[in-house]
Structure 1
């Protein structure tokens, strides 16, 4: 059986950040709070680094879900932002869906809270309309591993590709010769082990020049 490896293409992808809201974040239990926040901000940094169109949306901000976390609004001050009045599935909001289609991109990166609803529903809806969907698993969170695994299984069976923020960054970057310090610095900012690697690289570079 043949297989086509469809890679993320930085020129044909849009990032959807769905319902990373203050209230909903308190529901995330499949990652620690610090780990999850780091993962979400790492994905956001990747989008900024590769200049990927980003769309933000929230669900029922006036209710218990709360406002979008301020870090994301600060990182993407010019991004389209849709505070949905009630639709649970972001794809059911016509303004949000129109903004996605207006990008003209065929690939969608999706992350959000909670995984089996705020991520799965728009992911399945976008797949139905012919988009290539890549779910960023570690920048999406939910109640526990059981609900997470059920959501992952449902989306992957429908055709979504499950990735991590690190995998997303590397697949977009393609080749280290494109930018060593910039991309390496991004990774180091979110992974302590990678910071050690970059520090070692910098020391070796200095030694080779002396």
Structure 2
């Protein structure tokens, strides 16, 4: 099953100021998420970013803010799908594929992904743009979601599947982000 730009929505979960420094490989995670956001914008994929209890955990890190068209939603539930505003926003986009990146992998990413699969979405978790405080938690997240029906992908897999072919203006614009 290919990831198709016209069927996708990118969801970035809780990459916030007080969470990021505690994560495994935070620079890699932020860099790859920036690539996903820029690519989604370029190919017309809607983007939703969440913030878990921003009064306590801070806002989305500055490196990821300012992407034109990105919708930012506050939440309190660990599963984004339990938040009515998020669920309505996602449903209103009319897309069946969800590309997930986020923090913490073993909490909010796992619960969101499981809920989305239960509700019939085709979900792809971007392993190199998803993090937890410990490597064990990250690995447990990926293993659980893999057997639970999620596709486990990398940033480059998503970008090249969205692009579909070389030589286009979008390909030329995004290529420097991947090299």
TM above 0.5, one fold? yes
TM-score by length of 1: 0.80
Alignment of 1:29-178 (within 5 A): 29=24, 31=25, 33-63=26-56, 65-76=57-68, 78-84=69-75, 86-177=76-167
Which residue is equivalent to 2:176?
Answer: 188
Residues 116/49 of structure 1: CA separation in 2 closer, same or farther (3 Å cut):
same
- In 2, the alpha carbon distance for the partners of 1:13 and 1:124 equals 17
Secondary structure of 1:17 counterpart: strand
User: Which structure would you say has the larger RCO, counting Cα contacts within 8 Å and 6 or more residues apart?
Assistant: 2
Q: Does structure 1 retain, via aligned residues, the 8 Å contact 2:100–2:124?
A: yes
Q: Does structure 2 retain, via aligned residues, the 8 Å contact 1:20–1:58?
A: yes
- In 1, the alpha carbon distance for the partners of 2:146 and 2:172 equals 30
How far is the alpha carbon of 1:185 from its aligned partner? Answer: 4.0
How far is the alpha carbon of 1:28 from its aligned partner? Answer: 0.9
Residues 40-88 of structure 1 deviation map (CA, whole Å, 9 limit, x = unaligned) = 111111111111011111100011x211112333113x4332111x222
Structure 1 unaligned runs (5+)?
Answer: 1-5, 195-210
Which residue is equivalent to 1:18?
Answer: 13
TM-score by length of 2: 0.93
**Larger strand percent:** 2
Q: Does structure 2 retain, via aligned residues, the 8 Å contact 1:80–1:99?
A: no
- In 2, the alpha carbon distance for the partners of 1:116 and 1:184 equals 35
Structure with bigger gyration radius: 1
Alignment size in residue pairs? 179
